[in-house]
Amino acid sequence: MNAPLRISPLHDVQVSHAARWTQAEGMQTPASFGADDAAKLVLAGIGDLSFRRRAGVKGAGAANWLNALGIATPPRHNSFLHMDDGTLVARLGTTEYLIEDAPGGTHADRISAATPGERIYPVPRFDAALLIAGTRAPELLRQTCAFDFDRLLPDGQALAMTSMAGVGITVLALDGPAGPHFRLWCDGTWGGYLWATLVEVAGDLGGGAVGLDALGSLAGQHNDASPWRHANN
């Protein structure tokens, strides 16, 4: 039997807008929303990175357990790091971790398959994972979130758990050649609402939904070779 198809939590709100689809990490994901994706990305682009595999774990023994699995952990709470292979490791609070594989990565699967020991509590993560980029991204964030995102930028390794448009999110800022962009995660069941809200506000700012093709390296941070498998529908 083939591996079952993963469906993005944002699929329902994207299905009537996407122009072309692709499969990334076994998940059906919009490759394009239209010819103006790149232009929207310059101003206020919203991308769906839910396809990236992730896992979570929390508990007093979580850090040591992850380290034993070869996964580095951030020394400070509410911060993140990128491993050399592009894996993102975020420390949420004191003893909870979110691990997101770079495309092609296997850490998430290894964590899910491993047997946790004492005071280690697996947290399955099937989040809606979004990317916000563009010169007007800060304005988009200010219209939807009461958090001061400038406080994330100077350090470059801090993350925040806050509320955006009424939805609880985890968010961090990353530097890139085109300026800072933002990664955020929320419970997938809120994802459709949050996506639609952000796309609507972004539309007022000249931006909107952006497919994987236009996102390019932004979708595979630390891995510019676009390793996900493209299979246009």
List contacts with another protein (CB under 8 A). Answer: 1-9, 11-12, 15, 27, 50, 58-59, 116, 118-119, 121-126, 139, 142-148, 150, 165-167, 187-190, 192-193, 197, 201, 204
Rounded (10°) angle between helices 37-44 and 188-204? 90
User: Tokens 């083939």 sit at which residue?
Assistant: 2
Cα-based distances in Å from 93 to 74, 101, 122, 135, 206: 11, 20, 15, 30, 35
Determine the Cα–Cα distance for residues 185 and 214; give it in Å rounded to an integer: 20
Q: How far is the CB of 27 from another protein (least distance, A)?
A: 7
Q: Could you say which DSSP state residue 156 is in?
A: S
Q: How far is the CB of 224 from another protein (least distance, A)?
A: 26
Paired strand residues for 170: 161, 185
38 or 205: CB nearest another protein = 205
130 or 214: CB nearest another protein = 130
Q: How far is the CB of 84 from another protein (least distance, A)?
A: 27
14 or 32: CB nearest another protein = 14
53 or 214: CB nearest another protein = 53
- Rounded to the nearest 10 degrees, how much is the dihedral formed by the CA atoms of 145, 147, 150, 153? -100
Q: How far is the CB of 77 from another protein (least distance, A)?
A: 16
